[in-house]
Structure 1
Amino acid sequence: MLRINDQITIADWEMTESFIRASGPGGQNVNKVSTAVELRFEAERSPNLPDPVKRRLKRLAGQRWTKEGTVVIFVQETRSQARNREIARERLAELIGRATVAPKKRRPTRPTKGSVERRLKAKKARGEVKRLRGETGE
């Protein structure tokens, strides 16, 4: 069971973990022990995620989102399988946590009267410089 917040918890059956041999440092241990973790979360079929959260999660996950609607997280940071498993679960929880936050609606604002006046004054001054440049024949 993975707890995201008060409303959302992910059941163990929604996640599948597979362990693979990791690359990198580790000596002979690398060739013998499967320490890397591939965590798959069936986000599209999850009954615990509301639809708006699923849409935001798909956008946030990017390449980690498969065609089947699965979020894939691959971790091979440490030499410990247990620690890699924890890191993968933490990353999934953090990703889903970010997806639960609805973005603020943008409210278009109008420029202030002062800023409009300053812009027009600057344009007039620039135009005057160009006009004077033409009169002298340079």
Structure 2
Amino acid sequence: MADNLTTATPWLQISSRLAIPLTEIEMTAMRAQGAGGQNVNKVSSAIHLRFAVASSSLPEGCKQRLLASGDQRLTRDGVLVIKAQQYRTQEQNRQDALARLQAILLQASQVPVTRIATRPTLASKRRRLVDKQRRADIKTGRKAPRHDG
């Protein structure tokens, strides 16, 4: 899995049928935040990855699912932003950012299976019985009153 994420290849393989060119992905190095001592303060090892979803070569359905997902990493302009700073080296963070982008795009590329109703739900059974009882009450109210006597 790691060999398809190297920057030497011009494509990021998402699935067996989907790949995007690395030219669509913008990566910049920056200083990481948080604990880490002197290394964090002087080395730009964090990677800031930006992927413009709307202008990408992804299939239209995949773009729509990704933009509608409500992911907090998506900006209003439809740019997916991933910040990778978990590792000490820039290359490991680059691999991590690409792997995370790959996972997000793989999830968006899968068409959700629509549920086929196979049996009535409990709520629909209750609604049917309530409607049936209401109809029975209406019909009972139409009958002439019984005179016992």
Map residues 1-138 of structure 1 onto 2, 5 A cutoff.
1-47=11-57, 49-60=58-69, 62-111=71-120
Cα deviation for residue 56 of structure 1 reads 1.3
Would you say the 8 A contact 1:61–1:95 is kept in 2?
A: no
The answer to which structure has the higher helix fraction is 1
Would you say the 8 A contact 1:60–1:95 is kept in 2?
A: no
Stretches of structure 2 lacking an aligned partner (at least 5 in a row): 1-10, 130-149
Cα deviation for residue 109 of structure 1 reads 3.4
Number of aligned positions between the proteins: 114
Deviation digits for residues 98-122 of structure 1 (CA, Å, limit 9, x no counterpart): 111111112233339xxx6xxx8xx
SS in 2 for 1:44: coil
Would you say the 8 A contact 1:35–1:80 is kept in 2?
A: yes
CA distance in 1, matches of 2:47, 2:68: 23
Letter in 2 for 1:88: A
Letter in 2 for 1:93: Q
Letter in 2 for 1:5: S
Report what 1:136 is aligned to.
none
Q: Identity of paired residues, percent?
A: 42
Report the TM-score when normalising by structure 2: 0.69
Would you say the 8 A contact 1:76–1:84 is kept in 2?
A: yes
SS in 1 for 2:71: helix
